[in-house]
Amino acid sequence: MEIDADFHVHSPFSGGVSEKMEIPVIAEQAETKGLDLIGTGDILHPEWRRKVEKQTEEREEGIFSHGDTKFILTTEVEDKNRVHHVIIFPGPSSVEQLYSQLSNFSSDIDKEGRPRVELDGEKIAEEAKKVDALIGPSHAFTPWTSIYKEHGSLESCYGELDIDFLELGLSADTELADKISEHNSLTFLSNSDSHSPWPHRIGREFNRIEVDKLSFKEIKKAIKQNKIKLNVGFNPREGKYHCSACQECYQKYSLAQARRNDWKCVECGGTVKKGVKDRIKELSDGGKSPNWRPEYMHLVPLAEIIKQVVGHSSVTTKKVQRIYDRYVEKFDSETDILVDEPAKKLKKVNQKVGAAVEKFREGKTVMVPGGGGEYGELIIPRNEEERRRIVEERESELNCEYRGNQKSLGEF
């Protein structure tokens, strides 16, 4: 059977996470999204672990349930070099063992859902392997707390130890990651890293996986034997760090322009943050996707599409939510709406939204890339003429380039 799984989320015990990220709410929203399996996140945190134990019931080896939603035990940890790693556990005893092993090297493991561990990536991976857990780098290319922010290769971080997967992150996809040849034999995971339970965050990236039954053993086999059938997630251009861009005014730059200006913005003098696109360009060595690599499907959350159609500034407005609720009441899940349902059925619920989903599927939308900490902008043109005009007018932004009145640093 095939399941849709999002392995990387957080609890309220991690910094910057919604207080609504509790098991019952996560379970409800995961079902709305269409996920068959979701990570617990933060399972090394003692209080969160107790909540998970009380609010879920073990169904299969390493799989827990709350209502109809299935959970798998997961966490994210930060190493001494500020690199983040995702860990997937076979069961509670494995969690307890790793907690015991890492607690001597962490001052906040009892306080922070995403604990800092004063060990390097290789040592943390060794400890994870001792308890039969799966491990790989989180959001591998982002310019904050990622492997390729601090290292130039997997070996530099993990030594000769084989990791189990690489998490792509919101600003990268298969095509970009496979430009680096050391990835060409490695399984990619696309996870949401959600800090909020709402459907435009949770499951915004997920993996379609082939398993004989839903168990940790089967999940491990699928990851190790390349049985990921589909990676689903953002168009990388939608991510906050796709382009190199100023962290203050979000002006975008090519890699050559940023280097020439010493990573200072010529518009406001702010710091230009190197984007995922350019970091991968630096590391690219002619890698190519292997023939077993699954398709990467680009999706935008349904609420984002509705927001554009109704012309509202937020996905949380009452009108956006009313239309969203009509769709999820009519169809099984958001994933079905975005991926599987015929456009003519979607148009019966709302003509404009159904047409917008159809345009997105057909590649007739425009995604202005994000950078510097600002998400990309989805534009749904009324027709092909308008689409061409937008592409022409915003050519420099679309290419992650600066086309203004170029100034030198001495002119500030």
**How far apart, in whole angstroms, are the C-alpha atoms of residue 299 and residue 361?**
8
- The pLDDT of residue 102 is 98
Rounded alpha-carbon distances, angstroms, from residue 407 to 262, 268, 270: 12, 11, 14
Q: State pLDDT tens for residues 346-356.
A: 999 999 999 99
Average of pLDDT values for 169-189?
96
Considering the entire predicted model, what is its pTM?
0.93
| CATH fold for domain 2-236 | TIM Barrel (3.20.20)
Q: State pLDDT tens for residues 326-339.
A: 999 999 889 889 98
What residue segments make up the domains of the chain, in order of their start?
A: 2-236
Encoding tokens for residue 206? 């997920």
**How far apart, in whole angstroms, are the C-alpha atoms of residue 250 and residue 372?**
5
- The pLDDT of residue 354 is 96
Does residue 408 register a pLDDT over 70?
no
- The pLDDT of residue 405 is 53
Confidence of residue 357 (pLDDT cuts 50, 70, 90): very high
Q: State pLDDT tens for residues 207-250.
A: 999 999 999 999 999 999 988 999 999 999 999 999 999 999 99
Rounded alpha-carbon distances, angstroms, from residue 100 to 79, 95, 96, 175, 291: 16, 9, 6, 39, 41
- The pLDDT of residue 406 is 44
